[in-house]
Structure 1
Amino acid sequence: MTEPAEQPYALATIRGDGSAEITIQGRTQELGAPTVEQARASVVSYLAHRARPLGVPIHVVVDDPEGQFVLVVNPDGSLGETFTSEPDHDTIPPGGHRGEPVDGEPDAPSAPAVEPSTTGPGTPTPSAPEPGTPDPTRVADPASAWGPPGQREAPAAAGPAPVAETVPATAAALVQAPPATVPQPAADPAPVPAHPVSGGWSSSPPAGHDPRPGWDGAGRQAQQLQQPGGWPQQPPGAPAPAGPAQPAEGWPADPSATMTRRQMRESFLKAEQTEAPASTGLRGMLARVGVRVQPSEAERAERADIHAVSQHWPGVRTIAVVNGKGGAGKTPTTALLSATFARYSGAATIAWDNNETRGTLGWRTEQGKHDATVLDLIPRTAELLDPGARAGDISHFVHHQAADKYDVLRSNPNLLSSEQRISGEDVDAIHDVLGRYYRLIFVDSGNDESASHWLRMIDKADQLVVPTIAKPEHAEAGALLLEALTRRGGRSADLAQRAVVVVSQAREKDVNPSAAEIARGFEGWVSEVVTIPYDRAMVENVLRYDALAPATRRAWLRAAAAVARRL
């Protein structure tokens, strides 16, 4: 009787874009291919390359767009049998662990090794047992095979000895196997128990593993289920074909030609990121005096938000700030989100007042050395878009915020709306100009949701922000707007679904309802809701980021990160 050769296990993930990841013996290798089929070929070729010096096949659990299953990759690149991978939690005795006796019961006898079964030309294939006769390939339940507790000798019986455990696996679904080399025995309802190993699969077959391809440790043949990807199903009792097992449909017959030398070796470059020590609070104080302390969870969350806001996206991004009711907080939201992005990302950022009914963004921000508004820019759009225009030419029409690092394109609140009508075509021209000189465009909108310039702004937007103060009428106006955009369908509905809602506590003593209560009403049907605490600096005339309290600045950073993650 011989011991089966040690067979390593691997995990492989194949993604729909052709990328793949293989983990074997604790080491991970990234692969890439133009298609899923070529990625499969690369995975098989890489595992065959790793199996050759070992001289044994590698069992691999594959997570593929077609499903999850298990393969055996031979050193020559061919695919061997697969086995069932459905965990059976019912086989764990109460109070004990799989393969361990329950308190008060004697130890189960150890299982003898099982001789490998060979099948090929000239070797007769065992036939199914006659009805009414014991099946020599089927192992009885271990409890009945070994008798009642205390009996240490097995009764005489034909066929292989029972084993203590069956072959384990952790795949999420039963696996389709290629044609088996033995007949299909009678169905056994007991599934194969699982064998979870911390950190992945173990490097050798678990205890009780039956080396016969397609069989588990209890002598039961692996179940055959039709899986996506074209695995053939072998009828019960059909003879097995001679020669090596054939690969499943979609997997290469000869994958070695698809692997490059570069893919066959592991890179010397490891992507390791060292976390910076704590910088705030008591932990930060200890770090500054030489004691290296990890940051707290709150500091890690703040770093993650800063990283999200600091990104530079390819192309221009437009964020529309919308609510049909005046006084909902659109102007403070526009100004403070612009300031947060400009400070952390360094990207050229502009806040545009797309409001023909006395928009107040110009009143709530610093004025430059001129009094130009959007009405002065519209007649000059062709000049600003001319190839000969220079980067500084836009400064004649916008007002720079010295401390907060963004610019403002004002409307003229001193004119009646009838005197400053802006059409959809004007919005197109303004957006084209701003997109040439800025990377981030925040648009403060008016209250007329039917106006052509308002609708055209929605068409230009990449992300919606719906501000509201903690008052039911303002929150209801924001909710009705989102419902109307959803009914509009298409891109408008997508923007409504991905919207970020910002709820501000506008008055210190006005806490019924609170911002948190209003926020809970929006949860579940927008992408994220962020609350802003009351801050007197937000109700004063000019909005400045540095004037806010630390808690308020942190809340605006959280709101900006929520927007950034959806750009």
Structure 2
Amino acid sequence: MSVDTALRVYASVTGPTAIFTSPDGVDQPITAPPGHDIRHMIIKRAASEARHAASVVELVTSGDQGEYHLVVDALGGVTSVSPHSSTPQEDVPQAVRAVPDYEKASEGKEVSTLAQGQEAFGNSETPAPEPLATEPRPRPSFIATSTVAAPTHSGWRGFLSSFGLTGGPSRAEKERRDAQGLVSQQWAGCRTAAVVNGKGGVGKTMTTAMIAAVFARNGGGNVLAWDNNDTRGTLGWRTEQGLYDTTVRDLLPAASDLLAPTAGISGIARFVHHQSVDRYDVLRSNPELLAAHQRIEQVEFDTLMQVAARYYRLVFFDSGNDESAERWLRMVDSSYQLVIPTIAAPESAESAALLLDALRERDERSRLLADNAVVVVTQTEPAGTAAAHRIADAFGGNVRSVQRIPFDPALKSGPLRFDSLHRATQDAWLRAAAAVASGF
């Protein structure tokens, strides 16, 4: 049976609910119970109509994941077909009249596997022989670069891929893949980024951990989050502790051994704390010591940086609040990229803007870093969306990129784990990390 002669049913999907319209135009609400997929329920309902009609039915779905035309048989088998506009608009139920017109499918195209095979192999005529070549043809390569896109794992496209039906990615999926491609790059040499804002409580530690996690999870590890803070650095409090209670002060005396030609790659493990799921390492400061007892001078910072560059491909600095400290200034001078975090509050945003102004006046390289900075505006309260938009808009045009992070309770306190975030928050951090990668 061709698509043009199949009975047609419709499903307008909104989250876990849908309105299913039968062939005779009767609407029926469908709600997915907890733990059930609304798409499975729609397919099951369409299969019921196919059994009743002793025929396949065409299922047209619409909703926030786009529009799809499927053929469903009595056993729940699904075939994807090209959408068309053969149905008059007045015959389409009200719930789905917003579906746009499409090009009409090829005449006589069957939806069954058998019919597709007949169409593909039905031409029994013998093709005319090709003329003899007058010149030798180039030898084809036996090694071809794969251009097959990875299967989609979300939305209706992901649902259909579970049936072996592939299609192009949605716009959101394509943007996600593009961002993942940026952050999974491997650069020649170590790349560094400093997360800086002279005010406390603006999200420096959170931003450092989340961006490090995105790069490590997508690029295969060898990523270091370095707590470069004299005064109560808390990166160690919000991340996992490894087998040793070691800090940057323990690493300094061992630097010469770690830089020796005979040093093994695993030697660094005694001084950093591996994040088992997010895959990056943390070099801690000691938040229990006063700044006077853990100051690091310029020469010491340079030695630590040599160690970091030998063992890691990416280093993200969680900076302190003392912009006059030698380790703070040396960190800026050692960075390829600046990340300026702020929460959606006027004081935090003003501190970020003042820092950018000061860096532009410091020297030429600092000015370039400021112009190329990525500002990350995090919404810390559910009702702060408008404020976050205003602050982000105000920074627009003043730096290379401005990224907004939506409110997520998992970011407010406690351990920082990428998997604990909502999907929208994960995507926002992925976009922020991709913006950073563009500056490397």
Normalised by the length of structure 1, the TM-score is: 0.52
2:305 paired residue number:
431
Q: Which runs of 5+ in 1 are unaligned?
A: 1-264
Are 2:292 and 1:418 equivalent residues in the alignment? yes
The answer to whether the 8 A contact 2:252-2:304 is kept is yes
Amino acid in structure 2 at the alignment position of 1:430: L
Amino acid in structure 2 at the alignment position of 1:324: G
Q: Which runs of 5+ in 2 are unaligned?
A: 1-136
Are 2:416 and 1:543 equivalent residues in the alignment? yes
Amino acid in structure 2 at the alignment position of 1:444: D
Match of 1:556 among 424, 429, 432: 429
Are 2:331 and 1:457 equivalent residues in the alignment? yes
* Deviation string, structure 1 residues 164-202 (Cα, Å, up to 9, x no partner): xxxxxxxxxxxxxxxxxxxxxxxxxxxxxxxxxxxxxxx
Are 2:320 and 1:320 equivalent residues in the alignment? no
Cα separation, partners in 2 of 1:267 and 1:555, compared to 1, 3 Å = farther
Q: 1:274, CA displacement in angstroms?
A: 4.0
Match of 1:507 among 365, 371, 381: 381
Q: 1:514, CA displacement in angstroms?
A: 2.2
Query: Which protein shows a greater Rg?
Result: 1
The answer to whether the 8 A contact 1:309-1:341 is kept is yes
2:52 paired residue number:
none
* Deviation string, structure 1 residues 263-322 (Cα, Å, up to 9, x no partner): xx9996797834445432012212321333211111111110011111111100011100
Matches within 5 A, 1:43-58: none
1:350 paired residue number:
224
Q: 1:336, CA displacement in angstroms?
A: 0.8
Structure 2 CA distance for aligned equivalents of residues 539 and 277 of structure 1: 34
Matches within 5 A, 1:229-268: none
2:70 paired residue number:
none
Matches within 5 A, 1:244-323: 273-323=147-197
DSSP-derived class of the 2:407 partner: coil
Amino acid in structure 1 at the alignment position of 2:349: A
DSSP-derived class of the 2:153 partner: coil
Structure 2 CA distance for aligned equivalents of residues 358 and 488 of structure 1: 27
Structure number with higher helix proportion: 2
DSSP-derived class of the 1:485 partner: helix
Cα separation, partners in 2 of 1:267 and 1:298, compared to 1, 3 Å = farther
* Deviation string, structure 1 residues 66-97 (Cα, Å, up to 9, x no partner): xxxxxxxxxxxxxxxxxxxxxxxxxxxxxxxx
Structure 2 CA distance for aligned equivalents of residues 517 and 548 of structure 1: 24
The answer to whether the 8 A contact 2:228-2:319 is kept is yes
Report percent identity of matched pairs.
Answer: 54
Cα separation, partners in 2 of 1:526 and 1:295, compared to 1, 3 Å = same
Match of 1:519 among 371, 392, 407: 392
Structure number with higher strand proportion: 2
DSSP-derived class of the 2:194 partner: strand
The answer to whether the 8 A contact 1:312-1:345 is kept is yes
Structure 2 CA distance for aligned equivalents of residues 366 and 280 of structure 1: 30
Cα separation, partners in 2 of 1:516 and 1:273, compared to 1, 3 Å = same
DSSP-derived class of the 2:192 partner: strand
The answer to whether the 8 A contact 2:336-2:369 is kept is yes
Amino acid in structure 2 at the alignment position of 1:520: D
RMSD over aligned CA atoms reads 1.8
1:163 paired residue number:
none
* Deviation string, structure 1 residues 222-281 (Cα, Å, up to 9, x no partner): xxxxxxxxxxxxxxxxxxxxxxxxxxxxxxxxxxxxxxxxxxx99967978344454320
DSSP-derived class of the 1:364 partner: coil
Amino acid in structure 1 at the alignment position of 2:426: R
1:533 paired residue number:
406
* Deviation string, structure 1 residues 34-53 (Cα, Å, up to 9, x no partner): xxxxxxxxxxxxxxxxxxxx
Cα separation, partners in 2 of 1:296 and 1:341, compared to 1, 3 Å = same
Structure 1 CA distance for aligned equivalents of residues 285 and 343 of structure 2: 23
Structure 2 CA distance for aligned equivalents of residues 501 and 291 of structure 1: 40
The answer to whether the 8 A contact 1:312-1:347 is kept is no
Structure 2 CA distance for aligned equivalents of residues 529 and 349 of structure 1: 23
Structure 2 CA distance for aligned equivalents of residues 534 and 548 of structure 1: 10
DSSP-derived class of the 2:193 partner: strand
Matches within 5 A, 1:118-157: none
Amino acid in structure 2 at the alignment position of 1:422: I
The answer to whether the 8 A contact 1:284-1:293 is kept is no
The answer to whether the 8 A contact 1:279-1:295 is kept is no
Cα separation, partners in 2 of 1:272 and 1:456, compared to 1, 3 Å = same
* Deviation string, structure 1 residues 388-434 (Cα, Å, up to 9, x no partner): 11111111111111111111000011011111111111110111011
- What stretches of structure 1 move > 4 A for 4+ residues in a row? 265-272
Matches within 5 A, 1:159-174: none
Structure 1 CA distance for aligned equivalents of residues 372 and 190 of structure 2: 18
Structure 1 CA distance for aligned equivalents of residues 376 and 383 of structure 2: 19
Amino acid in structure 1 at the alignment position of 2:421: L
The answer to whether the 8 A contact 2:221-2:279 is kept is no
Q: How many residues align?
A: 302
Match of 2:268 among 367, 386, 394: 394
Amino acid in structure 2 at the alignment position of 1:326: G
2:94 paired residue number:
none
The answer to whether the 8 A contact 2:272-2:281 is kept is yes
Structure 2 CA distance for aligned equivalents of residues 496 and 266 of structure 1: 52
